[in-house]
Amino acid sequence: MVGVSPATVSRALAGTGLVAEPTLSRIRETAAALDYRPNVSARNLRTQRSMAILLVVRDAGNPFYLEVFKGVEAAAREAGYSVLMGNTEDDPVRETEYFAMLGDGHADGMILMTGKLPAPNDTRATGDEPVVVALEMVEGSGYPHVVIDNHAAALSAVNHLIELGHQNIAHITGPLPEPMSQRRMEGYRTAMKLAGLAIREGFEQRGDYLLESGVQCCRALLALPVLPTAIFCANDEMAFGVIGELNRQGVSVPDDVSVVGFDDLFLSAAFQPPLTTVSQPRADIGRQAMTILLSRLSGAAVPDEPVVVATQLKVRGTTAPPKSLTTQHQGRHQ
Amino acid sequence: MVGVSPATVSRALAGTGLVAEPTLSRIRETAAALDYRPNVSARNLRTQRSMAILLVVRDAGNPFYLEVFKGVEAAAREAGYSVLMGNTEDDPVRETEYFAMLGDGHADGMILMTGKLPAPNDTRATGDEPVVVALEMVEGSGYPHVVIDNHAAALSAVNHLIELGHQNIAHITGPLPEPMSQRRMEGYRTAMKLAGLAIREGFEQRGDYLLESGVQCCRALLALPVLPTAIFCANDEMAFGVIGELNRQGVSVPDDVSVVGFDDLFLSAAFQPPLTTVSQPRADIGRQAMTILLSRLSGAAVPDEPVVVATQLKVRGTTAPPKSLTTQHQGRHQ
DNA sequence: TTGTATGCGTTATCAA
DNA sequence: TTGATAACGCATACAA
């Protein structure tokens, strides 16, 4: 040592302000010189905290989660936490595993972005763990939620199409038992109903958020007796599938058919034409979730109502008035 | 307890095979019943390992790294490791921070995907830390590397354009002091040289891997006296910028100008038209890096030559023969 | 095959 | 303002 007790060193380096000036700087200097850093495991054992949080997502390969991660990571860093990323691949076993990591000291808290809890039979989830759910809904769980208003967002997207003059508007849903897909579909239905528009047979196609299902649903739509002039997709990825298929079939976007997505993925604006879509403030969502988790960890109160963050409809190049309208319009003027 | 010493429990749960059968299952059962899990911090302190590795990337917002993460995570999980993701934002301070996390027990090893080491003056990097570098090159560092052959990949991309009949081929580079950008540029130059083609003034534009620089470089290219009929971009993101700008200027891809990218991003194949690009096996790269790191951690030998993983040119919709050729061709037949 | 005892490197309590 | 001391929960060397 430098002639001082370990306790004093600990206090000095922790910045408790309980160490007098001559010693303080001397300790700091020699710590820097020796490149000394307190051992994390020992500290964790002593303090009973790991200063790490777990971000559990459905599919780590989906860029969607990246921006959320960035928000989480930024807020975590500021508070001295590291972020462990967990990937469930929609596997309940994995979910249980990650949940268990809360109990064994791996992490102090968790941000859940999967819609499920571990199987109820062997669940460790009593509802009072330091868990925050982001974007998904774990019904009746008692955890704080950070959400977007999927219903309102879908409604505004469809309204945009209606305002452009579309009447035959189709919808490609997400996987359907899920609340998120359900809400978006209900938003679509509400918008149609409020506008007095009928949803024709086959205009609701069931997708699964993946590109290929966009392609399939688009084919089904094109086989219908009455074709839609606009398609609202429950996410961007399926919208890309739809647009690709439309192009292959010689249908022009947005001249023949308008397409709206949901998510505003990385590069969705760079698409040709740029995709009209609902943008979610993903980094904000991550940051909010982390902030709530931090309050929870510090023993403060957490909101018992879901925190709703605002979405924004980005009107870009894949939506236009329907052809019938533009034709009529041109007709009148010529 | 269940009438047995802590040591026996430890041995039983660790699966050392040193516990007799009647006791073994009894311990396991009661552990399961009590939902007991060994405390991670205590184990880490005792074993002097954290069973965590650190994946440090340049920009966690870039989907490019996601697939690498998946590969790393998969290999890590199999070996019982967790993955901590670090985000440097190209900030040397952060890089030093993450490097320090190796020393303080936060992580046992690190996979570096940034091209730099911490500033040499206060570096902890002596060259024998458990570090594996992936895709980037840290020259003279002594760390094992997992790389792709950027030179050969760029060469094959440009050769593809040459085989299509292009002669005026431009290149948009990455940020230029960096080895990766350098190699790709050299691949471009080699291909041109081998084909006896001249690189015209202004045909090498300097980008920075971001979308906007693709747009800017494209404008510069369009202002040239002789226009290129093909553009090889050092990554997909810039290629998207280029294609967008070409479209805005009324230049058709691939009819007027062919574009080739590099990376094969998520959804690059879903682009309209689908992007011709160099595909890197990102998950494999992550897995390889992690595998090497695991050998290193277990004391085994690591390759002292860079491990090269193969890339693949994905020929899709943004490349075609140059207009002059197709016109001549049509001319002959008409 | 099992139990006993020690120490991993901190932080926190208490006393000085 | 600082020092001595105990304890965090486990894994292991050694003894039984």
How would you write B197-224 as a 3-class SS string?
CCCCCCCEEECCCCHHHHHHHHHHHHCC
pLDDT at B121: 43
Distance A220 CA to D8 C1' (A): 63
Distance B98 CA to D14 C1' (A): 40
Of A70, A101, A124, the CB nearest to B61: A70
Of A60, A82, A104, the CB nearest to B73: A60
pLDDT in tens, B104-159: 999 999 999 986 655 444 455 667 789 999 998 877 778 999 999 999 999 999 99
pLDDT at A77: 92
Span A170-189, average pLDDT = 94
Do B98 and B106 touch, CB atoms closer than 8 A? no
Instruction: List the one residue out of B239, B258, B233 whose CA is nearest residue B166.
Output: B258
Above 50 in pLDDT, residue B174?
yes
pLDDT at B334: 34
Give the pair of three-digit tokens for residue B254: 């691939």
Count of CB atoms situated within 10 Å of the CB of B18: 11
Do B239 and B261 touch, CB atoms closer than 8 A? yes
Instruction: List the one residue out of B159, B150, B227, B231 whose CA is nearest residue B195.
Output: B159
Report residue A60's pLDDT band, with 50, 70 and 90 as the boundaries. Answer: confident
Interchain CB distance below 8 Å, B106 and A82: yes
Least confident of A183-187, B6-10, B211-215: B6-10
Above 90 in pLDDT, residue A225?
yes
Interchain CB distance below 8 Å, A60 and B70: yes
A44 touches strand C (CB under 7 A): no
Above 60 in pLDDT, residue A121?
no
Pick the most confident of A142-146, B58-62, B160-164, B178-182. Answer: B160-164
Residues 171-230 of A with CB under 7 A from strand C: none
pLDDT at A2: 72
Report residue B58's pLDDT band, with 50, 70 and 90 as the boundaries. Answer: confident
What is the rounded CA–CA span in Å between residue B258 and residue B163? 12
Span B190-219, average pLDDT = 97
pLDDT at A17: 79
Distance B11 CA to D11 C1' (A): 9
Q: Which single residue has its CA nearest the C1' atom of nucleotide C5?
A: B7
Overall residue count recorded for chain A in this entry? 334
pLDDT at A203: 98
Above 60 in pLDDT, residue B306?
yes
Interchain CB distance below 8 Å, B84 and A83: yes
Residue B266: list chain A partners with CB under 8 A.
61, 63
Instruction: Report the first-to-last Cα separation within chain B, whole angstroms.
Output: 93
In this structure, the protein residues whose CB atom falls closer than 7 angstroms to any atom of nucleic acid strand D are A 3-8, 11, 18-20, 22-24, 42, 45-46, 48; B 6-7, 10-11, 13-14, 37-39, 42-43, 45-47
Above 60 in pLDDT, residue B217?
yes
Span A115-127, average pLDDT = 56
What is the rounded CA–CA span in Å between residue A265 and residue A276? 11
Residue B84: list chain A partners with CB under 8 A.
52, 82-84
What chain B residue is nearest to A106 in terms of C-alpha separation? Answer: B40
pLDDT in tens, A7-53: 999 999 988 878 888 889 999 999 988 889 999 999 999 999 999 99
Distance B5 CA to D16 C1' (A): 14
Q: Which single residue has its CA nearest the C1' atom of nucleotide D6?
A: A46
pLDDT at B3: 75
Interchain CB distance below 8 Å, A63 and B60: no
Span B296-319, average pLDDT = 94
Percent of chain A with pLDDT over 70: 93
Report residue A137's pLDDT band, with 50, 70 and 90 as the boundaries. Answer: confident
Distance B176 CA to D3 C1' (A): 57
pLDDT at A331: 37
Least confident of A31-45, A122-136, B42-56: A122-136
Interchain CB distance below 8 Å, B272 and A63: no
Distance A46 CA to D7 C1' (A): 8
Report residue A58's pLDDT band, with 50, 70 and 90 as the boundaries. Answer: confident
Give the pair of three-digit tokens for residue B7: 């040591």
Distance A92 CA to C7 C1' (A): 39
Single-letter amino acid code for the residue at B219: R
- Strand A204-206's sheet: what is its strand order? A204-206, A169-173, A230-233, A258-263, A276-279, A312-314
Q: At what angle do helices B211-222 and B236-248 cross, to 10 degrees?
A: 50
B331 touches strand C (CB under 7 A): no
Do A72 and A79 touch, CB atoms closer than 8 A? no
B102/chain A closest Cα distance in angstroms: 10
Residue B185, CB half-sphere, CA atoms under 13 Å: how many?
Answer: 18
Interchain CB distance below 8 Å, A63 and B66: yes
Q: Which single residue has its CA nearest the C1' atom of nucleotide C11?
A: A46
Of A104, A247, A270, the CB nearest to B40: A104
pLDDT in tens, B317-326: 999 999 875 5
Percent of chain A with pLDDT over 90: 67
Q: What is the 3-state secondary structure (H, E, C) of chain B?
A: CCCCCHHHHHHHHHCCCCCCHHHHHHHHHHHHHHCCCCCHHHHHHHHCCCCEEEEEECCCCCCHHHHHHHHHHHHHHHCCCEEEEEECCCCHHHHHHHHHHHHCCCCCEEEEECCCCCCHHHCCCCCCCCEEEECCCCCCCCCCEEEECHHHHHHHHHHHHHHCCCCCEEEEECCCCCHHHHHHHHHHHHHHHHCCCCCCCCCEEECCCCHHHHHHHHHHHHCCCCCCCEEEECCHHHHHHHHHHHHHCCCCCCCCCEEEEEECCCCCCCCCCCCEEEECCHHHHHHHHHHHHHHHHCCCCCCCCCEEECCEEECCCCCCCCHHHHHHHHHHHC
Q: Which nucleotides of C are covered by protein (CB under 7 A)?
A: 1-5, 7-13
Report residue B287's pLDDT band, with 50, 70 and 90 as the boundaries. Answer: very high
pLDDT in tens, B9-47: 999 998 888 888 888 999 999 998 888 899 999 999 999
Q: What is the 3-state secondary structure (H, E, C) of chain A?
A: CCCCCHHHHHHHHHCCCCCCHHHHHHHHHHHHHHCCCCCHHHHHHHHCCCCEEEEEECCCCCCHHHHHHHHHHHHHHHCCCEEEEEECCCCHHHHHHHHHHHHCCCCCEEEEECCCCCCHHHCCCCCCCCEEEECCCCCCCCCCEEEECHHHHHHHHHHHHHHCCCCCEEEEECCCCCHHHHHHHHHHHHHHHHCCCCCCCCCEEECCCCHHHHHHHHHHHHCCCCCCCEEEECCHHHHHHHHHHHHHCCCCCCCCCEEEEEECCCCCCCCCCCCEEEECCHHHHHHHHHHHHHHHHCCCCCCCCCEEECCEEECCCCCCCCHHHHHHHHHHHC
What is the rounded CA–CA span in Å between residue A166 and residue A184? 19
Count of CB atoms situated within 10 Å of the CB of B159: 17
Q: At what angle do helices B40-47 and A40-47 cross, to 10 degrees?
A: 140
Above 60 in pLDDT, residue A120?
no
pLDDT at A4: 84
Q: Which single residue has its CA nearest the C1' atom of nucleotide D2?
A: A8
Percent of chain B with pLDDT over 70: 93
Q: What is the mean pLDDT of chain B?
A: 90
Of B37, B66, B106, the CB nearest to A104: B37
Above 60 in pLDDT, residue B59?
yes
pLDDT at A119: 47
